[in-house]
Each structure stands twice: as C-alpha cells, then as structure tokens.
C-alpha cells in the first residue's frame, strides 16, 4: 500500500488490457488489495478548486486527477469574512424584527435522481436507498452514531426522477451540471437539493457552501451507489451524503489548512496535516495536541470509520444556518 498502486488502478480501469494485466499481476502478489477503492495516500496534487463553492469527497487516488475540494488559505479568509458580514446583517435584521435564533431546524429535502436510462447501471436506484439515506442523515446529525447532536433534522419532501443521458454522469463544474441544476433546483435557501448519479473523476460527491445570494448551483451532488446498500465498496453506508451536507452547512474538511493556522475553524477537531483514508487508527500528523480526527464525518475515511461531528462543528453549522439559510 505504500506504492500508490491505486493511481495505476484508476487509470487502468477499463482502459488498456496490457495495463490491466499488469494490475492483476500486481494484485496477485498482494500489493493491491482490491481493484476498487483501496489505497495509500493520494497523489497530493491538490489543485485549485474548480470553483470556490465546490467541495468534494473523493475516493483514494481520485485526487491525483481532480480535486475541486481543497480551499486555499485566501478562499478560507474570504469565506470567514463573508460569514462575519452575513452575521452582522442578520443581527441588524433581528434587532429590528425581533426574530429569534433558531435552535432546531428541520431541513426540507428534494432528491433528484439523474438517470441515463431505466437500468440500475443507468442510475435507477430504488426509493428504499433514498429513504435509508435520510435515516442515516437523521442519525448522524442527531448524534445517534456517537458524535455531538446538531440542530438539524431532515425531511424527505420529494423524489424527482429525471432521465437525461446528457446529464449522466454528472460532471463537476461542467455546463451540463449548471444546466441540470438550473432546470431542477427548487425551494429557497433552506431547501436541500440532492442530485444523485454516476459522477465524474471517481468523485464521491461535492457540495456548495452557503452564500448570501441564493445560487441555482446551491446543493449537494452525491454518487448514487454511495447511498446505503449501494455498490460503492467501503463508501456505501450513506456517509458521503453526511459529509457533503456538512459542507452545505459550512463545514470545512478536518484537514483544511493542515497543521497550521486556524485549520477548519473549529477548535475541537485536532489539526491534521492531510486527508486520512481507509481507517488509520492512531494516525497523528501534527505536533499539536490530539490524534487526527479520522472518525469525523469531514475527513476522507471509509464510511465504516467515520461516525461523528464535534460540538464545535455543530455550533459552526448552526451559526452558518442563522447567517445564510434561515428564513
């Protein structure tokens, strides 16, 4: 696993039989545990995000080709300044209107199932996977899996099935993605639009951060087979949805900023130098106090490894909700 064989896996999949043969022979001697998603560290090619609003979760190795996810320090400063400004606006508004701060929030959810055709491989996943996903979200955000309870609950309002081959797979940052979202997005800033489909570049999902002005791009894109019971090995318990919605609620990755500075802007998530993959128990990449938060929903570990938000993250999400998404 120290050889980054996954990079070869990624490029080899379905491409050249000679490369594939090499891959299989490598696997035969035990270097590659599986041909799917199992790996050493990613290539480290942390490209500039394709768009400052984009934030993804990736399988191991996907970062080698494309990672729209990592924010630069400048982007973090801009987002933090924007949050402060939004909170000031809200405070002024509240002082005038006498509104109160929301303590609990039920988020209406609309799920758009993008399909190439009517087959499972073409994106036609059953409703049961979607209702299971909503249950996973409600468990996770209520602290039911072992983390902090957040203010948020999720209510499935609609499943919208759309067969359109030109939107499948969903390609991050593409004109087709813009077209899809501008055609399908419904509701106000408080409405969570989830788009399910096969995704570009081995991505598991991506999300927009909250903005003061509602954009038609607002929402969360999730790999259809990452839902509970899906075929995405090690990433099929629904935590990609949990992670991406964390971004939609203004959370950064636990490894944002590495070991220095303000990191992810949350004081109770120990600093982490880089994303953690699989489930590396005891990992400790920064000299500051605390082991790496590999069990946090905002890292990149396997679904079976991540089970919690922290109280600081719960607070950050509620603050952002009141600043950006509350009615």
Q: Least distance (Å) from Zn ion to the CB of residue 236?
A: 17
Number of residues binding to Zn ion, judged by CB under 5 A: 2
Burial of 103 per CB tally in 10 Å (0-12, 13-18, 19+):
exposed
Q: Least distance (Å) from Zn ion to the CB of residue 19?
A: 30
> Which segment (54-62, 80-88, 221-229, 289-297) binds Zn ion by CB under 5 A?
54-62
105 in Cβ contact with 153 (< 8 Å): yes
Q: Least distance (Å) from Zn ion to the CB of residue 247?
A: 6
Closest CA to 219 of 122, 110, 61: 110
Nearer to Zn ion, 23 or 207 (CB): 207
Q: Least distance (Å) from Zn ion to the CB of residue 104?
A: 25
* Among positions 10, 57, 112, 185, the unique one binding Zn ion when judged by CB under 5 A: 57
Nearer to Zn ion, 116 or 244 (CB): 244
> Which segment (4-12, 57-65, 100-108, 122-130) binds Zn ion by CB under 5 A?
57-65
Residue 49: count of CB within 10 angstroms of its CB: 20
Helix residue ranges, H only, the chain: 5-12, 17-28, 73-97, 127-141, 175-184, 239-248, 311-320
Instruction: Show which residues are catalytic.
Output: 244
Nearer to Zn ion, 5 or 60 (CB): 60
Nearer to Zn ion, 20 or 279 (CB): 279
> Which segment (49-57, 122-130, 162-170, 209-217) binds Zn ion by CB under 5 A?
49-57
Q: How many DSSP H helices and E strands does the chain contain?
A: 7, 6
Map residue 186 onto helix, strand or coil: coil
Distances 37 to 28, 40, 143, 236 between C-alpha atoms, Å: 16, 10, 28, 12
Residue nearest to Zn ion (CB): 57
Residues of this chain that interact with Zn ion (CB under 5 A) are: 55, 57
């Amino acid at each position: 696993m120290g050889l980054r064989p996954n990079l070869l896996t990624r490029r080899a999949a379905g491409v050249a039989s000679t490369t594939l043969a090499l891959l299989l022979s490598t696997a035969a001697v035990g270097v590659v545990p599986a041909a799917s998603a199992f790996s050493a560290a990613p290539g480290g090619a942390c490209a500039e995000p394709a768009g400052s609003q984009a934030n993804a979760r990736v399988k191991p190795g996907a970062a080698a080709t494309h990672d729209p996810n990592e924010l630069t320090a400048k982007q973090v400063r801009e987002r933090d300044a924007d949050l402060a400004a939004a909170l000031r606006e809200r405070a002024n508004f509240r002082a005038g209107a006498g509104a109160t701060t929301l303590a609990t929030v039920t988020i209406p959810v609309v799920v758009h199932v993008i399909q190439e055709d009517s087959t499972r491989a073409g994106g036609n996943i059953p409703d049961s996977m979607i209702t299971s996903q909503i249950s996973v979200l409600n468990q996770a955000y209520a602290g039911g899996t072992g983390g902090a309870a957040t203010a948020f609950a999720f209510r499935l309002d609609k499943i919208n099935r759309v067969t359109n081959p030109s939107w499948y797979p969903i390609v991050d940052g593409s004109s087709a993605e813009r077209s899809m979202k501008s055609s399908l997005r419904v509701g106000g800033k408080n409405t969570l639009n989830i788009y399910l489909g096969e995704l570009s570049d081995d991505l598991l999902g991506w999300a927009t951060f909250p903005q003061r002005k509602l954009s038609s791009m607002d929402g969360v894109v999730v790999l259809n087979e990452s839902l509970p019971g899906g075929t995405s090995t090690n990433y099929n318990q629904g935590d990609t949805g949990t992670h991406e919605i964390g971004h939609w609620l203004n959370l950064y990755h636990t490894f944002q900023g590495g070991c220095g500075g303000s990191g992810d802007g949350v004081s109770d998530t120990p600093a982490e130098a880089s994303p953690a993959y699989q489930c590396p128990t005891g990992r400790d990449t920064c000299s500051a106090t605390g082991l790496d938060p590999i069990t946090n929903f905002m890292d990149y570990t396997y679904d079976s490894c991540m089970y919690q938000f922290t109280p600081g993250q719960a607070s950050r999400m509620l603050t952002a909700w009141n600043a950006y998404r509350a009615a």
